Amino acid sequence: MRRVAVLQMLLAGFLAAEAGAQQLPMAVARLVDRQGQEVGVVQLQEVPGRGVMLRLEVNGLLQGSHGIQIHPVGRCDDAFEGSGVRGARSANLTTGDLGTLTVPRPGRIEIEKLARRVTLMEGAPNSLLDSDGSAVLIFGDDGAPAVCGVIQR
């Protein structure tokens, strides 16, 4: 009888942990290139006490290093001009410079990046889901945005 009670407590704890994990905020950004063609996706998930984990899957990037940033305006129109940059990589960001993305060879890349200074909690400071949204940008070797995706719930 005691063994059954212990198993029930363990199962209840496991189910509670699973329910809590399912309630973590999530978002997605569909990535498009300069021509408007979909080239990948970013899945975003809140990591309590740490920030937001970005899981990127991107096709068609050239070999080499690419800057990746989260911009405070969720737009990718006008050749990426509306994303908070004006045709060049911005050095003055409040939400998220994620460093460099290294592409070992042309083709598909899958990578995870942790953005520590942002959240998916609506209404919180540095929320990626504020009234004007946010966008994920990957920069080409010319310093201009090559890929962009608006972050959506």
Return d(Cα 28, Cα 14) in angstroms, integer.
27
What confidence category does residue 77 fall into, taking pLDDT thresholds of 50, 70 and 90? confident
**What is the pTM for the complete model shown?**
0.77
In the chain, the amino acid numbered 56 is L
For residue 7, name the pLDDT band (cuts at 50, 70, 90): very low
Query: Mind listing the domains of the chain with CATH numbers?
Result: 25-152 (2.60.40.200)
